[in-house]
Structure 1
Amino acid sequence: MGSSGTTSAARVAELERQLATSEAARIAAEARLAASEAARARSEEALARLERMIAQLRRDKFGSRSEKASPDQQHLPFEDVEVAEGMLEAASEEVDKALGDRKTSPRKEKRNKGHLPAHLERVAQVIEPDSTLCPCGCGEMVKVGEDRSERLDVIPARFRVLVTVRPKYLCRSCDGASHVQAPAPEWLVPRGLPTEALVAHSMVSKFGDYLPFYRQADIYRRQGIDLDRSMLANWSGRAAQLLDPIIDHMINMLKRSDHLQMDETTVPVLAPGTGKVRKDYLWAILRDQRGWGGTDPPMVVFHHSRSRSGKVARDLLKGFAGGTLMVDGYTGYDSLADPKQTARPWDIAYCWTHWRRRFVKFGQDTPSPICEEMVARVSQLYAIEKEIRGKDPETRRAVRQKLSKPIIDALLPWLEARLQDLSSASDLARHIRYGLKRWDGLTRFLSDGRLEMDTNGVENAIRPIPLTRKNALFAGSDDGAETWARIASLIGTCRLNRVNPEAYVAATLRKILDQHMQSDIDELMPWSFAE
């Protein structure tokens, strides 16, 4: 009996040991399974992130860079179809003429009658009948009316030669001792070929219309004018040197403004002695008070630098009055609000468009109710902004406090709740944290009617730089990049003030060459120009 009990106890102990081993193995297997599930989830998240990155790269390469569709871009694929349609219509009209009196279905005519600008030159072409004699033999017919139609014509850009003649006068009674001749006018290029109008045309074509000098030289060559690319560049450099005081005056005026926008973009610059292209930056500082009815004219000033660091931003804003600066979420601007790093700290306001764009792009790759709801709520804010654009600051502030603030107050807890439901490593959670981290700057516009909700103004002003960069490939030197920045400042400010930059540059160069007084430099500002 004792031996049997001992055996049973040993067997029970063995079974318990096996059971404990099995339980430990089961727990270990479950742990491995959990780890595998976590690893699989991370892999799926990484895969989804890579797929979104690839999709975004495809859109950046081949699609629109803005979440707002452009009508012109939507119609672009149909242009060739419309050309073919025009050929078909022309062929159909020929058939109609051949059929003579057969009835044909009426076509909708595409006309711009009544929409041609009144300032365009009108050249009348009167087409009289072969005879105005009555076929019944009654004599000459009387004019009782006329049909008029207008068509838009163009005279291609053409060159002409301005010949400056300075007659010499001599007194024959004084044995030639007395003589007179008008002094030679000051020219941009001494004894050179170009007029101010030609140089202005070349400058604006390159820095405003994205047409590099070598392409301009090819165009000129079609009319038998051989102008070397380097010659066009030299002329533009001479003009830029004369225009420097105007741009310096613009910068001084900008320093007195207390509500500005700032952004930056890359610009390729040829590194001396290396044969390689370096990635530099053009920084843009914008003043635009049109949104709240301010009296200061809009202007934009560009600066070239080799770096994108916050120190560059601090150096560029030295001597400014300070105030509120609207920027995107780039951390390089954070030091501008730090009293330890900036003599006159700025109140930083952040751009809603940059934050909204994150949800738009995420939703394009991964359908998400959170993204849809976020975009819808921000759209409500923009609908309010549309209604108050151009009104005085106090009205804008009051409307924002009444209508926009409740939307934003409800948005904050909703985002915080969504953040709790998402994995901390997910891209969507990162996009939400982007805005929550900058909440004070994003909501600053609610209490200041002079602020916009976004940096769209400076982004629009900076947009020609990438287009010029794409066509011109790179700037040849640091001096070339700085000249690029300064000329772009002048042309960009002309555009903001709806001034023809080519006419402005030509007229301003002539005034400077005619010894315009430095004390009257305000008269030379783009917003003071009248054609």
Structure 2
Amino acid sequence: MIRRMTDTALSEENASLKARLAETEAALEEAVEAQRRLESIVGELQREKFAARSEKLDPEQFNLPLEDVELAQGVLEAAQERARRALKGDGATGPRAPARNRGHLPKHLPRIERVIAPESTLCPCGCGEMTRIGEDTSERLDIVPAQFRVLVTRRPRYACRRCSGAVVQAYAPEHVVPGGLPTEALIAQVIVSKFGDHLPFYRQAEIYARQGLALDRATLGSWVGRACFHLRPIVAQMRENLKAADRVFMDETRAPVLSPGRKRTKTGYFWSVVADDRGHGGTGPPVVMVHYAPGRGAAHALRFLEGYRGRFVQCDGYSAYDKLTAVERPEGAWQLVHCWTHVRRRFVKRLETDGSPIAEQILHRIADLYAVEKAVRGQPPATRLAARREHAAPIIAALRPWLEAQLSRIPRSSKLAEDIRYTLGLWPGLIRFLEDGQLELDTNPVENQIRRIALTRKNALFAGHEVGAENWAMLASLIATCKMSDVNPVDYIAQTLRSLLDGHPKSRIEALMPWQFRDPSSLAA
């Protein structure tokens, strides 16, 4: 009886332990699944914040981790070369590698020649002076560190010795900073260093201090602010040129602005509008206009596009742009052209996160569309349109039913289903490039400009106030347009400021546009 009671107790305890074990295993499985979901979310957030923004596999990117290896290789080659010279003797003359740099350095760079002659040109045999029979020439790239100089202006006065009434003197030229230190060239350098090369004023002040110049960032900011006042007519005329474009690209990015009295920033936005006809061989000037707005609503997009006479806006799938299509205009409502790069980016994320074969197939089909575009880039619109209708249209015709079929086979709550629904929701705008050869597949022209603003934002952290953000937008517009026109922005801003100060007539302001600038020393930045 005791044995039976013991067996029964053990059996009951065993059953209880098994039940508890089953509950623990179920809870553990749920915890593991939750951990997987969290790891997936964290992985996406890390890629969103830290990974490369472009999904293009640029071969140059793979060389970046090898730079240290190449540096070590250079040390090794220098040591080997010194060892060979030591074995042969310092004066040994043997066959040398050809001077491959000869003739490859830019022609506009000044040449400083030096002649290295033998210590004696007398014949060792006592025959007398030797005759020059040729020479070896090599070119090496040298640099003169940035050097300040003082520009002294003298205005002599003249008087007549026969009478005391006539005294003549040339008028003093007007300057951006009356009676101040900087020339127009120095102010242009400060502007481009911050808004083109992403160097905040305090870093520039540290660079100037190494030259013995005490220029604090407040002084630099004041100089740039005065230049903004004079450059406003230029940017206003650029916007008038942009209004004539038949198609514009549009995008927006955050603009942190310091909130007065709160010791923290508030979020504004930089809206970029770009006209770039180079993709279809157009002759219109490339123009970038950046605007600051305190928000991201559709009202700001409508305000910045007021007066534009074009028909198309190329943009991403942000819902605020949808309201543009309801605006009544003499030219007709805006037509939205959506971006295949944004669609592709979603499926790249699905492939990286989930290894989805469906996402991989979609990426292959989008790649086929871009292969067609690559073959006709820069061609006239009619040629581009004919190629698209012959090669891209069949891909598009097969893609939509295929996407709909895949959508019916996967869970509705999955991320992949969400991405497919996003793509199908933008379908009219995604296929509009099949109707006009001037349109592009993506919004890359404006995204490239937004990226530069983001780099300046990363280094400058925030704008001091909204007026500062507006000036930031204005100067970013000017520098970006210079770069798209292959114009050195430092030369352009310096000479344009000088022309405006010298009284360039407002009626001929078009002659001062960046795409009209023709300076022989100017090169693409």
Question: Do Structure 1 and Structure 2 share a fold, with TM-score over 0.5?
Answer: yes
Alpha-carbon distance between aligned partners in 2 of 1:189 and 1:55, rounded to the nearest angstrom: 52
Deviation at residue 101 of structure 1 after TM alignment: 6.3
**Structure 1 position 161 matched with structure 2 position 150:** yes
Deviation at residue 473 of structure 1 after TM alignment: 1.1
Alpha-carbon distance between aligned partners in 2 of 1:187 and 1:380, rounded to the nearest angstrom: 56
**Amino acid aligned to 1:251:** R
**Structure 1 position 188 matched with structure 2 position 180:** no
Deviation at residue 107 of structure 1 after TM alignment: 11
Alpha-carbon distance between aligned partners in 1 of 2:58 and 2:474, rounded to the nearest angstrom: 30
**Amino acid aligned to 2:462:** F
**Structure 1 position 123 matched with structure 2 position 115:** no
* Alignment CA distance shift 1:313-1:343 (3 Å): farther
Could you report, residue by residue, the CA deviation over 1:156-206 in whole angstroms, capped at 9, with x for unpaired residues? Answer: 1100000000001111111x2111111111111110000000000000000
Could you report, residue by residue, the CA deviation over 1:100-137 in whole angstroms, capped at 9, with x for unpaired residues? Answer: 3699xx99999544321111111111111111111112
- Aligned residue number for residue 461 of structure 2: 473
From 68, 85, 91, the counterpart of 1:97: 85
Does the Cα contact within 8 Å between 2:255 and 2:270 map onto a contact in 1? Answer: yes
The residue correspondences of 1:24-423 to structure 2 (distance < 5 A) are 44=33, 50-100=38-88, 112-174=101-163, 176-339=164-327, 345-423=333-411
* Alignment CA distance shift 1:43-1:336 (3 Å): farther
- Aligned residue number for residue 485 of structure 1: 473
- Aligned residue number for residue 23 of structure 2: none
Does the Cα contact within 8 Å between 1:321 and 1:344 map onto a contact in 2? Answer: no
Cα RMSD after superposing both structures: 2.5
Does the Cα contact within 8 Å between 2:309 and 2:331 map onto a contact in 1? Answer: no
Does the Cα contact within 8 Å between 2:208 and 2:214 map onto a contact in 1? Answer: yes
Q: Secondary structure of the equivalent of 1:463? A: helix
**Amino acid aligned to 2:189:** H
Deviation at residue 98 of structure 1 after TM alignment: 2.6
- Aligned residue number for residue 5 of structure 1: none
Q: Secondary structure of the equivalent of 1:430? A: helix
Does the Cα contact within 8 Å between 1:322 and 1:344 map onto a contact in 2? Answer: no
| Unpaired runs of at least 5, structure 2 | 1-25, 520-525
Q: Secondary structure of the equivalent of 2:408? A: helix
Does the Cα contact within 8 Å between 1:251 and 1:301 map onto a contact in 2? Answer: yes
Structure of greater Rg: 1
Alpha-carbon distance between aligned partners in 1 of 2:374 and 2:99, rounded to the nearest angstrom: 33
Alpha-carbon distance between aligned partners in 2 of 1:239 and 1:153, rounded to the nearest angstrom: 33
Alpha-carbon distance between aligned partners in 2 of 1:67 and 1:284, rounded to the nearest angstrom: 22
Alpha-carbon distance between aligned partners in 2 of 1:56 and 1:179, rounded to the nearest angstrom: 77
* Alignment CA distance shift 1:354-1:108 (3 Å): farther
Deviation at residue 300 of structure 1 after TM alignment: 0.6
**Structure 1 position 512 matched with structure 2 position 500:** yes
Deviation at residue 399 of structure 1 after TM alignment: 1.0
* Alignment CA distance shift 1:313-1:47 (3 Å): farther
Q: Secondary structure of the equivalent of 1:505? A: helix
Q: Secondary structure of the equivalent of 1:172? A: coil
* Alignment CA distance shift 1:340-1:257 (3 Å): closer
**Amino acid aligned to 1:130:** E
Deviation at residue 55 of structure 1 after TM alignment: 1.7
Deviation at residue 345 of structure 1 after TM alignment: 2.2
Normalising by structure 2, what TM-score?
0.89
Could you report, residue by residue, the CA deviation over 1:196-229 in whole angstroms, capped at 9, with x for unpaired residues? Answer: 0000000000000000111101100101111111
* Alignment CA distance shift 1:293-1:305 (3 Å): same
Could you report, residue by residue, the CA deviation over 1:272-329 in whole angstroms, capped at 9, with x for unpaired residues? Answer: 1111111110000000011111111111100001101112111211222240100011
Deviation at residue 266 of structure 1 after TM alignment: 0.7
- Aligned residue number for residue 521 of structure 1: 509
Normalising by structure 1, what TM-score?
0.88
- Aligned residue number for residue 19 of structure 2: none
**Amino acid aligned to 2:514:** P
* Alignment CA distance shift 1:431-1:109 (3 Å): farther
Alpha-carbon distance between aligned partners in 2 of 1:59 and 1:254, rounded to the nearest angstrom: 36
**Amino acid aligned to 1:204:** V
Does the Cα contact within 8 Å between 1:203 and 1:236 map onto a contact in 2? Answer: yes
- Aligned residue number for residue 25 of structure 1: none
Which one is further off, 92-101 or 292-301?
A: 92-101
**Amino acid aligned to 1:515:** G
| Unpaired runs of at least 5, structure 1 | 1-35
Alpha-carbon distance between aligned partners in 1 of 2:328 and 2:30, rounded to the nearest angstrom: 44
**Amino acid aligned to 1:441:** G
**Amino acid aligned to 1:92:** Q
Which one is further off, 423-432 or 389-398?
A: 389-398
Q: What's the % identity of the aligned pairs?
A: 54
**Amino acid aligned to 2:138:** S
Does the Cα contact within 8 Å between 2:99 and 2:138 map onto a contact in 1? Answer: no
* Alignment CA distance shift 1:334-1:109 (3 Å): farther
Could you report, residue by residue, the CA deviation over 1:458-491 in whole angstroms, capped at 9, with x for unpaired residues? Answer: 0011211111011111100000000000000000
Alpha-carbon distance between aligned partners in 2 of 1:92 and 1:492, rounded to the nearest angstrom: 46
Q: Secondary structure of the equivalent of 1:421? A: coil
Which one is further off, 107-116 or 462-471?
A: 107-116
Could you report, residue by residue, the CA deviation over 1:50-94 in whole angstroms, capped at 9, with x for unpaired residues? Answer: 433322222234331211134443222222222222222222222
Alpha-carbon distance between aligned partners in 1 of 2:462 and 2:70, rounded to the nearest angstrom: 36
- Aligned residue number for residue 425 of structure 2: 437
Q: Secondary structure of the equivalent of 1:203? A: helix
Q: Secondary structure of the equivalent of 2:80? A: helix
**Amino acid aligned to 2:379:** K
Which one is further off, 491-500 or 138-147?
A: 138-147
Alpha-carbon distance between aligned partners in 1 of 2:192 and 2:327, rounded to the nearest angstrom: 41
